[in-house]
């Protein structure tokens, strides 16, 4: 059974810092991995999607890496801003027709 763990569970940093969120998964035979952002009381916004054959994806100040063999992904946020405050969720998909398995998220607060 696939399990996804996110560390840390919560993180509070001053504005402007670069930071790294970690995600690990137990079954390395994944189809893809997706990072989402969830604001309080809101739905999920997809940030980055990494296919199993890819090593990383970048979008603006965000960079996500994937190491399938070790079962790890990191989300790097450069020059953090207060608007980045949210819960960040990592999710993996085992097969093309499978549902996503989510971690419990990292609750991020960027202090102005």
- Residue among 43, 48, 68, 69 at smallest CA distance from 59: 48
Structure tokens at 51: 């296919």
Distance, CA of 98 to chain centre: 19
89 in contact with another protein (CB under 8 A): yes
Contact 87, 96 (CB under 8 A): no
The stretch among 11-19, 21-29, 62-70, 98-106 that binds another protein (CB under 8 A) is 98-106
Q: Which of residues 47-76 bind another protein (CB under 8 A)?
A: 49, 51
40 in contact with another protein (CB under 8 A): no
6 or 85: whose CB is closer to another protein?
A: 6
The stretch among 16-24, 33-41, 58-66, 68-76 that binds another protein (CB under 8 A) is 33-41
| Residue 95 CB, nearest approach to another protein (Å) | 9
- Residue among 95, 97, 80, 104 at smallest CA distance from 5: 104
Considering only 100, 106, 108, 110, the residue that binds another protein (CB under 8 A) is 100
- Burial letters 73-86, b for 16+ CB under 10 A, else e: bbbebeebeeebbb
Which residues form the interface with another protein (CB under 8 A)?
Answer: 4, 32, 34, 36, 41-46, 49, 51, 89, 91, 96-105
């Amino acid at each position: 059974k696939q399990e996804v763990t996110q560390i840390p569970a919560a993180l509070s940093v001053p504005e402007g810092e670069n930071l790294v969120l970690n995600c690990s998964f137990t079954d390395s035979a994944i189809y893809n991995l997706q990072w989402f952002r969830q604001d309080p009381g809101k739905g999920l916004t997809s940030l980055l999607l990494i296919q199993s054959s890819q090593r990383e994806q970048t979008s603006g100040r965000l960079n996500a890496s994937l190491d399938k063999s070790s079962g790890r992904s990191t989300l790097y946020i450069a020059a953090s801003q207060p608007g980045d405050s949210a819960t960040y969720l990592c999710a993996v998909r085992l097969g093309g027709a499978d549902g996503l398995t989510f971690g419990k998220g990292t609750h991020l607060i960027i202090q102005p």
